[in-house]
Every structure is written in structure tokens, then in C-alpha cells.
Amino acid sequence: MAAAFVEHRPHASSEHVATSHYVVIVDESSVGGNFTTQAAAKKYACDKGYRPVHVARERHLQDRKNPAHWRSDPC
């Protein structure tokens, strides 16, 4: 299956903006709705079989093309 990215929402340019929810992004589209925790979003992606699952290292660094912005999370 395709890779999944767990991202914070809303997008923020500052690390001081609060997270309201998390989304799972696959092939540039949000799948599975909104999640209240990063762990719930990761579990959803793992349970659906997406591999690898990438989680944002920092809220304001979410460039999917830059591997340094992500940590691969084992399922």
C-alpha cells in the first residue's frame, strides 16, 4: 500500500499555534476523517495497511518531500 503521513491541523507557520486535530494523508488526499490524537491517526493508518507511516517531527515542519521533517513510525 501507499505511504501515509500523519499531519497536524490547522497548518501553521509557527510552533506556537495549537493543534485542533490530526489527519492521515495518502496520495495527497486526506483519508479517514479527523482524529483527536496523533496516536489514533497513526493506529488508523497502520490498521488500514498503509506502509510506511510517517509522523511529523514538528508541527510547523510538514513538507512531505523533505524526509528530515518526518519520522517513520513502526506499526
Mean pLDDT of 22-50: 96
Confidence tier at 44 by pLDDT (50, 70, 90): very high
Residue 12: the pLDDT is 72
Using an 8 Å Cβ cutoff, are 51 and 75 in contact?
yes
ω into 74 cis (within 30 of 0): no
Q: Structure pTM?
A: 0.89
Confidence tier at 16 by pLDDT (50, 70, 90): confident
C-alpha cell at 65: 518531500
The mean pLDDT of the chain is: 91
DSSP 1: -
Residue 23: the pLDDT is 96
Enumerate the domain spans of the chain: 4-73
